[in-house]
Amino acid sequence: MPPRCRPYRPLGRRLLGVPLVAVLLAGCVPADQRPSGRVYPLPRHQPHDGLAVVTRPGGEGLHIWIETDTSRPGVCRPRWLPDAARLQGGNGPEPTSFGLAPRQEFFQAQERGIVRLALRQQVEGLCHQRAPASVFLWEPPPRTAAEYRPPVLPLLEEPELLSAPRAIRRAEKRLLGLPLTPDDLEEPQEPQPGGS
């Protein structure tokens, strides 16, 4: 008598139940306890300078601040600020933002294509608004802390430094109409290099 064989079932049918159970369990979570995943423009001071990304339950998430870099003549590109504000009420009619969200949350939000697309649209709109004669150059946002390069700002020159304290005191006294003393008029001796 030949041995009995069990009918062959493809692996796909056996694993079909796992995603179905996951979907059913996710459906049991109330809507107010799930992140909606909404992404929409949320201006700070002018159109296109902010983006809301709901990443947490209850409408919490990120308010990403958008800035432009026009340091190269004729070119406008994004200047990425991974220090986003914390979004509150992102699913409601009056979202607000406050404080700072962790940078890691900003980098995690960049994994979603819809967020990167919305950022590109907002940056391009902001560039057309701020520098209409410039060419828009897209640079994708950083996705990790290692990819983020803070902007290099120019060094301060001597004329941009604070004035000498005695010069400030003289100016204050002149504005207030007070008499100047001999100490106000003397400038301290500059230290000589290499000794006294």
Q: Is the pLDDT of residue 14 over 60?
A: no
Let me know: does 56 contact 32? Beta carbons within 8 Å.
no
What is the spatial distance between Cα 84 and Cα 21, in angstroms, rounded to a whole number? 36
Let me know: does 123 contact 138? Beta carbons within 8 Å.
yes
Tokens of 76: 């406008």
Helix (H) or strand (E) segment spanning residue 86: strand 85-88
Q: Which of 174, 167, 117, 169 is nearest to 141 (CA)?
A: 117
What is the spatial distance between Cα 196 and Cα 191, in angstroms, rounded to a whole number? 7
Q: What is the pLDDT of residue 159?
A: 66
Q: b vs e for 23-39, b when ≥16 Cβ sit within 10 Å of the residue's Cβ?
A: eeeeeeeeeeeebbebb
pLDDT tens figures, 75-113: 999 999 999 999 999 998 999 999 999 999 999 999 999
Q: Which of 101, 77, 102 is nearest to 87 (CA)?
A: 101
What is the spatial distance between Cα 116 and Cα 48, in angstroms, rounded to a whole number? 14
Q: What angle do CA 60, 62, 64 make, to 5 degrees?
A: 155
Residue that wins the pLDDT comparison between 139 and 182: 139
Tokens of 183: 């100490």
Q: Which residue has the tokens 């409601």?
A: 92
Predicted confidence band of residue 51 (pLDDT cuts 50, 70, 90): very high
**Count of C-beta atoms within a 10 Å radius of residue 141:** 21
Tokens of 159: 């004329």
pTM: 0.63
Q: What is the pLDDT of residue 129?
A: 95
Let me know: does 60 contact 90? Beta carbons within 8 Å.
yes
Q: What is the pLDDT of residue 165?
A: 79
